[in-house]
Amino acid sequence: MGISHDTQLSAVFKALADDTRIQILDELRHRDHQSLFEICVRILESSNLSLSRQAISRHLATLEEAGLIQTAWKGRTKIHSLSAQALEDVVAPWIEPYCRKEA
């Protein structure tokens, strides 16, 4: 990805620090490969949050910068997919020393 580990770790934590972005990740975990429109509708249905497409788009950009989602074009529609491997690759090595018990 070309980002240093510390920078990527910070980007992941920044992305996870917002309730709306967590809802988007949960939505993609339940139903992957969604368009912006689908995500907007499902967030509205599941949480009664009325966010603009532009607001959701900004949240998606933050998640993509952190490596938590990937995008691909299907015709003229941008499709968003969960990339949970980033959590394991970036966060797990950082959190592991905190989880180990010291003798």
Contact at 8 Å (CB) between 12 and 87?
yes
C-alpha 37/C-alpha 52 separation (Å) is 10
> Two tokens at 28?
């993609």
Whole-structure pTM value? 0.84
Q: So what's the pLDDT on residue 5?
A: 64
Domain residue ranges in the chain: 5-99
Q: So what's the pLDDT on residue 2?
A: 46
Q: So what's the pLDDT on residue 3?
A: 52
Question: Whose CA is closest to 38, among 18, 20, 57, 21?
Answer: 57
* Architecture of the domain defined by 5-99: Orthogonal Bundle (1.10)
Q: pLDDT by residue for the chain (103 residues), tens digit each?
A: 445 568 888 999 999 999 999 999 999 999 999 999 999 999 988 887 778 999 999 999 999 999 999 999 999 999 999 998 888 888 888 888 888 766 5
